[in-house]
Amino acid sequence: MVGIGAALVVFVAAVLTVGAAQWVWSAPGERDLTVPERVPFAGGAEPEFHAWNRFHIRYYAMALLFLAFDMEMVFMYPWAVVFVREGLLALIEMLMFILILVVGMVYAWREKSFEWS
């Protein structure tokens, strides 16, 4: 019975909230906007084309590199546990792993992947 009572309280509260939100929304006497009122502001000119367009996200190369190094950090958490047990050997292995990633980054740098264009 307690469960049904709680559900009822939540239901009534939800209905009241939706009702109040609708009242607040309609109180200022909202009217439909005309076509020129809906048009986005571009300094006074009329847009000829719809603004829905596909363009180049120029940070994608950086985003990919971020993902690579992010995954490496995730890999370092379990490695930290192994490092306590294995010591120097684990450190050298991790340095080799990071070195391979750094070579990749230097290559990307040489290929001008970090340039914002």
38 binds other proteins (CB under 8 A): yes
| DSSP secondary structure, 17-32, as one string | HHHHHHHHHHTT---P
CB 91, CB 39: distance < 8 Å: no
Q: What is the Cβ-side half-sphere exposure of residue 72, based on CA atoms within 13 angstroms? A: 15
Exactly one of 3, 5, 47, 78 binds other proteins (CB under 8 A); that residue is 47
Site string for other proteins, 62-101 (x = CB under 8 A): ----------------------------------------
- 48 vs 78 by CB, closer to other proteins: 48
23 binds other proteins (CB under 8 A): no
